[in-house]
């Protein structure tokens, strides 16, 4: 993960974001402490803080006692790290929380309060993965079963032809 070194501008309200160092790490989370309370995570940083067991005290400490102005609900937000358009995506298969994602650099922007909501959805990464697999199987289960049946049929045919070849070969 490559952390941005320069001061970023909040894509939701236009204020300068503050770099808050994550304890026991070499990276910073960019938080809009003087504007809307949103936070920007560089590529792969969010996964280190999206579960209840992961320490986010340093983030909540930076937000503690502050009031925040409402974020703009622009249709498209601009990634503060690379300048590309961000896309709204659901943060999980529960489809309850929409966050801004940059497909160019992998950064993610969360509006104020979304990190807490995200952390409250699942106890562990295993729970998140189980939910994803359940949802995936609902959507693609029939296709996978058909592909599995076709693969088994091909394996059976391959076995039959192999036996036929070996029996003919042994006669010579």
> Residue 156: is its pLDDT beyond 80?
no
| Full DSSP string of 123-151 | SSHHHHHHHHHHHHHHHHHHHHHHHHHHH
Share of the chain above pLDDT 90, in %: 44
Question: 132 pLDDT band (50/70/90 cuts)?
Answer: low
Segment 38-45 shows an average pLDDT of 94
> Residue 136: is its pLDDT beyond 70?
no
- Say which range, 29-33, 54-58, 77-81, has the weakest mean pLDDT: 54-58
pTM over 0.75: no
The shares of helix, strand and coil residues in the chain, as percent rounded to the nearest 5, are 35, 15, 50
Segment 42-58 shows an average pLDDT of 89
Query: How much is the mean pLDDT over the chain?
Result: 84
């Amino acid at each position: 993960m490559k952390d941005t070194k320069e001061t970023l501008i909040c894509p939701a309200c236009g204020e300068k974001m503050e770099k808050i160092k994550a304890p026991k790490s070499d990276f910073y989370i960019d938080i809009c402490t003087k504007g809307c309370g949103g936070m920007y995570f560089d590529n792969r940083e969010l996964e280190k803080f999206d579960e209840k067991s992961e320490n986010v005290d340093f983030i909540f400490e930076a937000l503690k006692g502050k009031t925040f102005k409402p974020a703009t609900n622009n249709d498209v937000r601009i990634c503060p790290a690379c300048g590309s358009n961000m896309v709204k995506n659901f943060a999980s298969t529960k489809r309850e929380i929409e966050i801004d994602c940059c497909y160019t650099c992998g950064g993610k922007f969360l509006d104020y309060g979304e990190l807490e909501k995200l952390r409250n959805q699942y106890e562990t990464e295993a729970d998140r993965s189980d939910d994803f697999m359940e949802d995936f199987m609902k959507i693609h289960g029939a296709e996978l079963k058909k592909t599995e049946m076709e693969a088994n049929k091909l394996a059976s045919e391959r076995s039959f032809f192999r036996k036929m070849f070996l029996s003919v070969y042994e006669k010579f």
